[in-house]
Amino acid sequence: MRLPAFLSMALLCAGLAAAPSLHAQSARPAAKPAGPAAAKPAVAKPAVSKPPAAKPATMPPPPAGLGSADQDLRYKNGKILVEQGRYAMAMQELEPLTLATAKFGRAPEAAYLYAVAASRTKKWAEAEQMLNLLRNRYPSWSGLPEALFLQGQISFEQQDYPNALAVLSELPTNTLTSERATMEAMYLPRISEKAVFQNLVKNFPQDAALGRAYADKLVSGGWYTPADQAQLDQLISRFSLDRNTYTPRPGGTKKSSYNIGVLLPFEFGDTSWEKRRRNQFITDLYAGLRLAQDSLQRAGRPVQLFAYDTGADTVQLKQVLTLPELAGMDLIIGPIYKSGSKILAQYAQQHQIAVVNPLSQDGSLVTDNAWHYLFEPGTATQARQAAQFAYTRLGGPRTAVVLYEDTNDETAFGLAYKQAYEALGGKVLQLRRIKSDDETSLAAGFGGIDLKTVGHLVVASDNPKSGVFTLSAMRVQSARPPLITYASWLNNNRLSLDQLDSRDIYFIHPKYLDRNNAGVRRVRQLYIQQLNLPPSVFAYTGFELLYYFGSQLHQHGPSFQQPLANGGPVSGAVFQGIGYPNGAHDNQYVPITKLERLEVEVLNPVGFR
């Protein structure tokens, strides 16, 4: 057995779905500080790009002679099936060869291949059971280091960090050293609880990758307190870390006022009516920030806003990031577009300054970066929260059919929903992609599905046509399964509120505003007094973002990551809730609403599961 082929398979057990990028519009070259901007009535959202569809790869035919009594042929076929990605078939082909009664000469190799196939389908229990059998029955097998390595990754995938490190510590000296360090560097930063990390460092004191990862969490992850200095000094000495790199940023203590950089594509260089109209959402967002600044000042929690025009491309953003005063900010808000977010995330980590993206729902932007937050719930978070709601609150058979629009965002939603719902114990009977602008695709999406027998239906689509077709399909079948979908359906002029009220339709509603809420009414009143027009949802977003994170600065100082991780979602000033528990870096509260007597009601208020 050659190490590279099987090792690469093991390293690819866990995959991440790609999210759409936000395409920048044309920009002016000069970066300059921006003052308060006057709000305009027109609102425009940034465009979401859609990459060209990839052509499906042609799957080769399975090998001949499956299930043969010839053990060598069966082993060969199992190996081919693993290479083809037919993992369930590979497991069926290989399992009989691993039995002691089979007396197959290459049983260890067959057991290892079986474990690889099981891990690729995330059948962790089956993979781990086979690897334990392999280690116990064939302790002198030459390929045992690869088996230990794979078992370590399986434990990491299940977040069993102590077992992962214990298994990896059994690797022979100078064997797979760099590969082990790479794997630990990938998984250990995902630990979100400081106490868990501290116990690992205590129990595995000589693990260099672990020590370095914990030092990174202390210095770059916002976990550092003065009480950690002695342990940090030990890690620096023990693993020869660069002391300059691992010196926490000064200024973590509380201050009377905080400086906040606002990096947004105001594009003041282009004064055309078309540009101002397209950028109205930026103007509204900033107006909301300014209003929250006034409210924080009145509450005795002053913050100073320093706004910079980043334009709509990365060139102008990079110019802004060279300004020396930016490194002295206590918090940075922005930018809008994905390419700029990645650049600013690196800057935030390097300078240890928390950054909050105000509008993105791309959870991949904040992966493994303790200084980068999304104000919005990520797409996958919305899916997980909706799945939790469905499993615990809908009753009936715990089965679902999930249809999702042919976009990267909705693809990520569909996959996350299936994974979360089935992890709870439910079953997604069908997971299908649809193109709502193509009626044939919509018909195929619902084709062959008996909606009367489904526990609930999920339609992840903002397209107005999907709502019309879904309700029509339910009416044709005289079916009334509970339906989970996006809140945009409430604004679909092709659907009446009576239609939506008469069925059990539940809306994923991150931006729900209760117009009778005292905070919403107060912000609306102040906004109209200052700008002579009602606030848009972007204005409310700017207000909530700064009021929440400005309050966090005054409560905990600039390194507020750990207090956020230790708390739960709380009611917002205007929105229903906001919170980043357990080390999350996108908002974990997602309102689920329903029409009752033509009034929108929140079914999962903050604090209610």
pLDDT digits (tens, 9 = 90+) for 320-332: 999 999 999 999 9
pLDDT value at residue 36? 38
pLDDT for 252 equals 56
Nearest residue to 463 (alpha-carbon basis) of 437, 493, 430: 437
Q: E strands along 475-602, which residues?
A: 483-486, 505-508, 592-596, 599-602
**pLDDT score for 538:** 97
d(CA 574, CA 557): 23
CATH level 2 (architecture), domain 71-245: Alpha Horseshoe (1.25)
In terms of Cα–Cα distance, which of 442, 452, 443, 417 is closest to 431?
Answer: 417
How far does Cα 547 stand from its chain's mean position? 24
Residues of the chain with CATH 3.40.50.2300: 258-374, 379-508
Tokens of residue 83, six digits: 């290479």
Architecture of domain 258-374: 3-Layer(aba) Sandwich (3.40)
Q: Which residues are 400's β-sheet partners?
A: 428, 456
pLDDT of residue 16: 24
Angle at 595 between CA 591 and CA 596, to 5 degrees: 120
Indicate the SS3 state at residue 306.
strand
Phi and psi dihedrals of 226, rounded to 5? -55, -30
Q: Where exactly does CATH 1.25.40.10 map onto the chain?
A: 71-245
d(CA 397, CA 428): 11
Closest CA to 433 of 415, 445, 449: 445
CATH H superfamily, domain 379-508: Response regulator (3.40.50.2300)
Q: pTM higher than 0.85 for the full model? A: no
Contact 157, 123 (CB under 8 A): no
Contact (CB, 8 A) for 484 and 506: yes
d(C-alpha 456, C-alpha 472), whole Å = 16
Backbone angles phi, psi at 356, to 5 degrees: -120, 120
φ, ψ for residue 305, nearest 5 deg: -100, 135
Determine the pLDDT at residue 50.
Answer: 39
Residues of the chain below pLDDT 70: 1-58, 222, 249-253, 607-609
Dist. CA 267–CA 256, nearest whole Å:
32
Coil vs helix vs strand at 433: strand
Task: For the chain, state the CA radius of gyration.
Answer: 27
